[in-house]
Structure formats: C-alpha cells, structure tokens
Amino acid sequence: MKTHYQILIIGGGTGGIMTAAQFLKKDKNLDIGVIEPSNTHYYQPAWTLVGAGTYDFDKTARPMSKVMPKGVAWIKDYTTGFDPENNSVSTKSSGNLTYDYLVVSPGLVMDTSLIEGLQEALDKGVVCSNYMDPKHTWEVIKNFKGGNAVFTQPTTPIKCGGAPQKTAYLAADYFKKKGLLNKTNVVFATPGSVIFGVKPIRETLMKVIHRYGIHFKPFYAPFKIDADKQIIYFKYTAPADKRSEIANGNMLLEKKVKDDIIEMPFDMLHLAPPQTAPKFIKESILANEQGWLDVDQYSLQHVKYKNIFGIGDVTSAPTAKTGAAIRKQVPVVVDNISLLMRQKEATNTSYNGYSSCPLVTGYGKMVLGEFDYNNNFTPDPKLKQLLIFDSSKEHWRLWILKKYMLPYLYWNKMMKGKNV
C-alpha cells in the first residue's frame, strides 16, 4: 500500500474536497491523498431548512465516492495523530502516512458532555437539534402546541453561529401560520452580548425579533438540562453595566435559583450542542492553548510547521466557522502550497476573515450577513451584482439563493474546484 503523498489532506468535507479539486484543476498529475472515514458527504447548510420542513433531508447527502475528485487517493480511515518533525500522520488502520505538504480540514466534533444532561435530553421527545437530527427538529416543531419554545446555543464556537437563531425565526413563523404564536413564548437565549456582531445585520434582526415577539436573552450560557422536568439551566454572565433584573415567575416562569443561575421551563427546546476540534487535533503539537489548529489568520499556514496549512472550522482563525469562509480560504492555501512547491515563500496573506451567514428570518425571507475579521459588512461583489439590492435587509430573492442557488453552486462548482 502507498504510504507517501505529495499533498495529504485530512478531511473529506467542504474544505478537503474543494482543496483537492482545485489542486487537480491546476495540475492533474499531482499526487494527492485524502483521509476521510465517512461514506457520505452532507451539505449541512440546508439542515436549517430540513428542520423547518422545507427541504428534503435526502437531497443534502451524496455518496463520498461521488464527490471525491477523480485522480485523488481516498484513504478511508481515521487520523489519530501527527509527527510533524517527520512529515508524518498516524491513522487508525493504515499505519503512518508521510507527506510533502499537509492540509488539515477535519471539521468539528459535537461534545454533548459539556452541557450536563444534554446527551440524555436529546433522546427525549421535545429536545432537538438541527446539528444532530434536523428531521427530528421538524417533528418537534410540528407537534408543538404552545408554551415556552426555547432556542439556545453553547459557549463554545459552533458551525455557522447564526444557525440557532434561524431555527427560532422559522419556528416562530410556523407557529404564526398555525395560529399558535399568541400562546407561545419564543425565547432566544445566547451566551453572546448581541444578536449579531455586524451592525446593519443586527439592526434588521432586532426588527425580526420584535415582529415575532421573541424574548431575546443575551448573556445566557446554558450548562444543564433536566429533560424529565423539562427545565434548562443558564448561567447569567452579563457584566455589571449590562445586567437586567431577572423577575421570578415572569411570563416565561423563569426562576433565579441562586446568584447568576437561572432555570427556565420549556415545552420544546432546540439547541446547538457544544463543539470542539477533534481530539487528535486538540491534544496535538499543532494546536494552540485553546485546542485549535494554530495557523496564521491571513495565510492559513501553521505558525511553526511551514508545510502544514489549515482550512475551515478547526483552525484558530478568529472568524465564523462557515462554508463561505472555506470558499475564500481554499484558494489562498492552494496558492501558498503552489508557491512552496516552486521553492518560494508562502506569501499569499489575502484571507481577510471573510465569512457569511445566510440568516433565514421566515419562510420566503432571508438576510445575508457577510463580514470580515473586523466585523465590517462586506457584501461579495459578484453576489451584489447578481442581487442588485441591499442584502442586509430581508428579501425573498435571498431565500431563493439559500434554498436553490447555493446548493447548486455547492455541488456543481465548489465541489468541482471551480472558483465561485
């Protein structure tokens, strides 16, 4: 069995497949290996729509064999560790594999142990997560009859930070259509301080929250779930100048159990589980103190090992963990490795933190949050040309973009190594 590759890629998700495909577009004779254990590749951005009953889950999945670029060696295995001094990666069953250049893009893992009771709660009827099982989310929303519908997210970074609030908006719109909104408290509780970091988007979203009458609870960090009693516990983390008094027995029936601990009953609960880098990254020499792959945020080159690059959710780059970020990161990494192959320095430092979050605000409506490292609103020029309006405001065309155009571009352009 072959054990050395010119370019070795860890991960057959968006980052790994795009990178392999773009390299082969440049030179079809490159020797590329992709380590990926899964048989199925998912288009996860559509799971928000699956959870709202407006997208077919089966259409989000394709066999890995169909998306793996022709000419790439697919190593169907798990990565277990690194020996960067010897340009080597260890695997579960294929032994050690060596490389000239390494691209690390394995994505995140869900760590339900970081919220007490979460693992058990996910098996109960009214607790759901689009991140784990979007079909179950839709069943929960359909069966909801009123009361507290609580939507929340963890203190860890998560894939697409806007996804938990999109689910709240879609659920609120569904409850409205079914005449349930007047007997429902839709709660969006977040450990964050604002609904969104980019000002024009934030202003639009606060209007959406007001329209649905959503109870917006900033500085609420979930740490425990009691699925049997249907209670979620939050730590209230607001600084002194931002605190508001939690009224015991308010319409949400919240209770201050003790200092800064709040319990809230729920009749349905949707949450994003805590997420971390995989263990083989977190505990490796390639990680920073927080457990993320330690890369330069502009070139995506590892800070110590110059022939190693990171792409996507697992990197330390301080931007949102989205497919849109990967779309802008891959060309930078491909360019930098191409420079190294020609005995030059990796001088492409053009990744500016671009990411985007398609914020669905109801059935047939969306806002597109595009931003950089400094939280500047940065609409993509190509998209702006196509849409011809302000994407920080709700529009039906953005819904068409989310539901039809982006999946098409994903499968037919991004996965084929075309720049979009």
Find tokens 């053009």 and name the residue: 350
Give the tokens for residue 188.
Answer: 């969006």
Which residues, 6+ apart, have CB-to-CB distance to 365 below 8 Å?
A: 394, 395, 396, 398, 399
All domains in the chain, ordered by first residue: 4-108+277-350 (3.50.50.60), 112-274 (3.50.50.60)
Q: Give the model confidence (pLDDT) of 214-263 as tens digits.
A: 999 999 999 999 999 999 999 999 998 888 877 677 889 999 888 899 99
> What is the structure's pLDDT at 26?
95
How far is residue 407's CA from residue 420's CA, in Å, rounded to a whole number?
A: 12
Nearest-angstrom CA–CA distance, 390 and 26: 35
Quote the distance between the C-alpha of residue 146 and its chain's center: 29
Tokens of 220: 């609420």
Cβ-in-10-Å burial (0-12, 13-18, 19+) of 124 comes to middle
- Average pLDDT over every residue of 355-363: 96
What are the φ/ψ torsions at residue 347 (nearest 5 degrees)? -95, 0
pLDDT at residue 379, rounded to an integer: 87
**Pairing mode of beta strands 96-104, 88-91:** antiparallel
pLDDT for the residue 340: 98
In which band, very low, low, confident or very high, does the pLDDT at 356 lie, cut at 50, 70 and 90?
A: very high
pLDDT at 259: 84
| The pLDDT of residue 146 is above 90 | yes
pLDDT in tens, 366-413: 999 999 999 999 987 777 676 667 889 999 999 999 999 999 999 999
What is the per-residue pLDDT for 420?
Answer: 77
Q: How far is CA 65 from CA 16, 20, 22, 70, 411, in A?
A: 14, 14, 17, 9, 13
- Let me know the angle formed at the C-alpha of 305 by 304 and 310, rounded to the nearest 5 degrees: 100
pLDDT at position 124 over 80: no
Over range 356-367, report the average pLDDT.
96
| Residue 418 DSSP code | -
pLDDT tens digit sequence for 159-216: 988 999 999 999 999 999 999 999 999 999 999 999 999 999 999 999 999 999 999 9
> Which one of 46, 50, 160, 332 is the catalytic residue?
160
What sign has the CA pseudo-torsion 287, 289, 292, 294?
negative
**Mean pLDDT within 295-304:** 98
Whether 136 shows a pLDDT value over 90: the answer reads yes
Q: Residue 103 has which token pair?
A: 């691209």
Tell me the two tokens of residue 10.
């860890």
Residue 81 to residue 84: CA distance in whole angstroms: 10
Give the chain's mean pLDDT.
95
Q: How would you class 179 by CB atoms within 10 Å of its CB: exposed for 0-12, middle for 13-18, buried for 19 or more? A: exposed
Catalytic residue among 72, 357, 366, 401: 357
User: Annotated catalytic, 357?
Assistant: yes
What is residue 380's predicted lDDT score, i.e. its pLDDT?
A: 77
The predicted pLDDT at position 268 comes to 98
Cα-to-chain-centroid distance, residue 339: 30
Which of 175-181's residues contact partners 24+ apart within 8 Å by CB, and which partners? 175/144, 175/149, 176/212, 177/363, 180/144, 180/145, 180/146, 181/212, 181/213
pLDDT surpasses 90 at 294: yes
